[in-house]
Amino acid sequence: MIGIIFILTYPFLYFYSRKPSRYKKLNFIRKISVFFSSALSGIFFKSIYATPIDWSKTYIICPNHASNLDVFAMSMALNNNFFYLGKDDLLKNPIVALYFRSIDIPFNRDSKISAFRAFKKTSERILEGMIPVIFPEGKIGEEYPPILHEFKNGPFRLAIEHQIPIIPVTIIDNWKICWDDGKTYGCKPGISRIYVHTPIDTKGLKTDDDEALKKLVYDKISSKLDYKL
């Protein structure tokens, strides 16, 4: 289904990926692609907001990550002015490569230089008013049921550096709907619930506060999780 929808929308994706000024519309096409490919597979998304979000402001979005379906879920939950940070292996995927050569930012997690360049580019996008989506776990684990892994410090330092709010997001059901442990793969119809927590303000915080901010976001995400069979 993903492949069919991608082929049908490719001319629009290619056109809107050519210039940064068109990226909002590129994300709109991404949403359309996600909706139809998921709906035709029997998967639907339900976003739950703790408080209304003012999308005219800039945030850093931090969701948990236990399924390949998580990117689809976040694409449906957010407004159109967002982008992802992801591993550079995604450049080999013909469907997502177009995004990671334009609006999204790939990097090699094993390379400090690559990570530095990616976060520098992310800072530039933030100054332009775009919203980065960063999975703070940095990976999908192989445990089943999954666990919430330790968070990396990058997104929290970015939020403090730019003095912008950070939004924790709990993706509740995706691991049950679409599971990939690197050996087996299986998806089934279902409803993906996405809980968007209240933004956490970082004004006045200093670099040394990144650990406390990280723990606060971790606890918020964990509070809505139910990683149990």
Cα gap 133→122, rounded to integer Å: 10
Q: Are 80 and 25 in contact (CB under 8 A)?
A: yes
Mean pLDDT of 174-188: 77
User: The tokens of 120 are what?
Assistant: 């520098």
Q: What is the pLDDT of residue 195?
A: 98
Q: Are 92 and 100 in contact (CB under 8 A)?
A: no
Sign of CA dihedral 27, 148, 150, 217: positive
Mean pLDDT of 89-104: 91
Mean pLDDT of 196-224: 97
Which of these ranges, 74-83, 119-128, 176-185, has the smallest mean pLDDT? 176-185
Sorting pLDDT into bands at 50, 70 and 90, what band is 181? low
Asked if pLDDT for residue 182 goes beyond 60, the answer is no
pLDDT per residue as tens digits for the range 21-41: 999 999 999 999 999 999 999
Mean pLDDT of 131-136: 97
Q: What is the pLDDT of residue 186?
A: 73
| Residue predicted with more confidence, 209 or 93 | 209
Mean pLDDT of 205-220: 97
Measure Cα distances from 88 to 41, 69, 84, 106, 117 in Å: 27, 18, 12, 5, 13
In order of their start, the domains of the chain are 44-223 (3.40.1130.10)
Mean pLDDT of 179-199: 84
Cis before 52? omega within 30? no
Q: What is the pLDDT of residue 75?
A: 96
What percentage of residues in the chain have a pLDDT greater than 90? 80
Q: What is the pLDDT of residue 112?
A: 86
Asked if pLDDT for residue 90 goes beyond 90, the answer is no
Mean pLDDT of 1-24: 92
The interaxial angle of helices 154-162 and 112-127, nearest 10 deg, is 30
| Residue predicted with more confidence, 185 or 145 | 145
Name the CA radius of gyration of the chain, rounded: 17
Left, alpha or beta for 163 (phi > 0: left; psi -120 to 50: alpha)? Answer: left
Residue 195, beta-bridge partner list: 48, 170
Instruction: Return mean pLDDT, the chain.
Output: 93
Sorting pLDDT into bands at 50, 70 and 90, what band is 145? confident
Q: Which residues contact 124 (CB under 8 A, 6 or more apart)?
A: none
Mean pLDDT of 170-195: 85
pLDDT per residue as tens digits for the range 49-75: 999 999 999 999 999 999 999 999 999
